[in-house]
Structure 1
Amino acid sequence: MRILVFGMTENPGGVESFLVNYYRHIDKNKIQWDFLCNSHNPVAYEDELVRNGGRCYHITARSDNRQKYQQELDTVFREHSKEWSAIWVNVCSLANIDYLKVAKEYGIEKRIIHSHNSQNMDNWLRGLLHKWNKRQIGKIATDFWACSEDAAKWFYSGETLKKAVVIHNAIDVERMRFDEGKRKAIRTKYGWKDKYIIGNVGRLHFQKNQSFALDIFAEYLKKNKNALLVLVGQGEDERMLKEKADKLGIKDSVYFAGVQSDIQAWLSSFDLFLFPSVFEGLGIAGLEAEVNGLPTIASKRVIPEEVKINDSFCFIDLEAGANAWSEKIEELSSVERAEYSEVKKRFVEKGYDIDTETGKLETLLMG
């Protein structure tokens, strides 16, 4: 059977990582995925998706040209809908549920909506659309999934919330484990051999709160002049963040790494992971950091409690302020990386190991 998956964009972010993690492990002799992409540019991991039998259908984004978007969307379904047993829509907002509506019109019986966030990260208009579609989604979708309980509450209410199924953002533990060779390679390449590196991976966007990360780092730099902050990712806040680093007088100790394909290598180069998001559905970046064994500091009451797998994962209130966060960094600076064998064991026990979770996902998709 084949299913149509929506959720891959040009940016290799959390949703994209979630999808490719599962795609690498599904039994493609039983089930194959095709991908609907709202961009005519290649999406993240597209070469790998196509190489493994997936087909990518590119359409114009609704925000770029609504008429062209509707025409291209209809064409894709008119020509291929009979090939798909299900559609699986992975989004952070219900502002646009057209994909599910068109799938229903073309007779695709299994229509899955999957929530990957817990709060509005868009403008006020998309926020209103989300609220409206939250009331309609029970009539359009047949299956209601979420990455966490908080993410389920953000998308669903009443009967749809009762039907919601939490799908773990499972990680390929082996693929993300600490790699000493890659650590040395990056540190040697950039001249960071003896640096204490604090890292963050994510879209440069107010949701991920890298602005506060700069405040925290400015405080910590007063305690440890040998520290370096590395931000992996790109986004609309990049210019603002660079200007802020300059104003804080820390720009020489902050490195903007841009989009990177080998996240394992960059995590391995870090000594601590900083995760100060203002909202998250679950936080796959934090899970990947834990797989790598990194001590991690995350936003309390923002990052769900279930993300804490290792003992060295700590929560602190955003309201506590930058100095309190910097003191927590100092406290964790002497904590060693978690041992891989223990990490693997805990991820399996908590249901976040991809090898043990893929079978459950296949059953739900084929149900």
Structure 2
Amino acid sequence: MYKVLVFGITENPGGVESFLLNYYRKIDKTKIQFDFLCNTHNKVAYEDELKILGSHVIHITMRSKNPLKYYKELNEFMKQHATDYQAVWVNVCSLANIDYLKVAKKYGVKKRIIHSHNSQNMDNWMRKVLHMINRYKIQKYATDFWACSEGAARWFYKKNLQSKAVIIKNAIELDKIEFSEQKRSLIRNKYGIDDKFVVGNVGRLHFQKNQMFALEVMKCLVQKMPDCVLVLVGQGEDEKKLKQRARELNIQENIIFTGVQSDIGGYLSAFDLFLFPSVFEGLSIAGLEAQVNGLPVISSYGVIPEKLKLNDNFHFKKLEDGAESWADEIVKQSSHLKRTDRKEIVKRFTEAGFNIDTEVKRLEKLLMERNK
């Protein structure tokens, strides 16, 4: 059995977590087993499913909470178990912490993969400084350099490594996210929005995802379409600020915060349009999942990679155009909304390399590939 120790699962079921689960559900478990190292002693996203799939979930203390305990637990685990693993795969949005690779090298893990999942800093200035310092160190500790997009590779790696970076597509389990009329009815009925025009967003409630701008758009949209609502699926540090801002704009009755949800396909089915105004992205799983569901999408231009657009009803708009202009675009799109045909979705996602059923074989090969 080829065993891989994976870092990247947190308590929040975000994009990285979805990416890892999409692949792990499909991977050949007679050949490859994933175990997951998590820097929290709390239960992480999908932990029950990970265990059912045969994984061990290892919890250690978060570095920011107790650095000494963190280093002690990390070193003790790797000292005892490094020989159990043929590879370590570190999935992160920043190089602020490369300890997992350092310790893996120290205890002899031969294949050490670093995987970039973002294209810009989403942390505080201190972590940004650490990221920039570690860009010069990472080659010493990692053997394989992966990224979700060319932009994510440029953000993570110096020029000499960018040419070596392997792009791993954020492939999707298409059947799990496909449109369901039944789920649409159930969820719209649950929130009492059966007869509303439903704008939706899925993602961490964080400045990167720009839900604050989405509220400004809704303020304008409510004046044009009084029966509209915005459904925000996710949790994050901006939740209180977003709720406060909704009250200040007097649109709290038009905003629904659902918290974390496991059935993303169901919620996407309940939406009429996906609002995607991120200020930066690597290659967003949320944007891909919205298209798998067939949803019309309005996305920030120059931020979301153009390669993300696979369906004809995916539209780009500049953030600098302002909230009023975005609201006008939603009104314009609402007059001829149409979901993309299922057969066309499968065809386009497979051809573009975003169908998990085809991409998982490539990942298996890359994981088990010997380093030269």
Q: Show CA shifts across 1:155-186 (max 9, x none).
A: 01122111001000000011100011110001
Measure the CA separation in 2 of the matches of 1:42 and 1:247. Answer: 35
SS, match of residue 229 in structure 1: strand
Alignment of 1:309-348 (within 5 A): 309-333=310-334, 334-348=336-350
Q: How many residues align?
A: 367
Q: Which residue of 1 aligns with 2:281?
A: 280
> What's the CA shift for 1:147?
0.3
> What's the CA shift for 1:190?
1.7
Measure the CA separation in 2 of the matches of 1:156 and 1:233. Answer: 30
Q: Show CA shifts across 1:229-277 (max 9, x none).
A: 0001111111111111111110001011111111111111000000101
Q: Which residue of 1 aligns with 2:203?
A: 202
Q: Does residue 98 in structure 1 map to residue 99 in structure 2?
A: yes
SS, match of residue 197 in structure 1: strand
Which amino acid counterpart does residue 6 of structure 1 have in structure 2? Answer: F
Which contiguous aligned blocks of 4+ residues in structure 1 show a shift greater than 2 angstroms?
none
Which amino acid counterpart does residue 107 of structure 2 have in structure 1? Answer: Y
Q: Which residue of 2 aligns with 1:114?
A: 115
Q: Which residue of 2 aligns with 1:361?
A: 363
Measure the CA separation in 1 of the matches of 2:68 and 2:96. Answer: 17
Q: Does residue 175 in structure 1 map to residue 176 in structure 2?
A: yes
Q: Which residue of 1 aligns with 2:45?
A: 44
Q: Which residue of 2 aligns with 1:18?
A: 19
Which amino acid counterpart does residue 358 of structure 2 have in structure 1? Answer: T
Q: Which residue of 1 aligns with 2:189?
A: 188
Q: Which residue of 2 aligns with 1:238?
A: 239
Higher mean C-alpha deviation, range 334-343 or range 27-36: 334-343
Measure the CA separation in 2 of the matches of 1:20 and 1:186. Answer: 24
Q: Which residue of 2 aligns with 1:352?
A: 354
Q: Which residue of 2 aligns with 1:77?
A: 78
Q: Which residue of 1 aligns with 2:218?
A: 217
SS, match of residue 178 in structure 1: coil
Measure the CA separation in 1 of the matches of 2:319 and 2:136. Answer: 32
Structure 1: gaps of 5 or more residues: none
Q: Show CA shifts across 1:107-132 (max 9, x none).
A: 00100000000000001100000000
SS, match of residue 184 in structure 1: helix
SS, match of residue 24 in structure 1: helix
CA RMSD of aligned residues (A): 0.7
Alignment of 1:3-14 (within 5 A): 3-14=4-15
Which amino acid counterpart does residue 130 of structure 1 have in structure 2? Answer: H
Alignment of 1:123-202 (within 5 A): 123-202=124-203
Alignment of 1:56-67 (within 5 A): 56-67=57-68
**Percent of residue pairs identical:** 60
Which amino acid counterpart does residue 317 of structure 1 have in structure 2? Answer: K
Q: Show CA shifts across 1:20-66 (max 9, x none).
A: 00000000001010000001111111111111111111000000000
SS, match of residue 209 in structure 2: coil
Structure 2: gaps of 5 or more residues: none
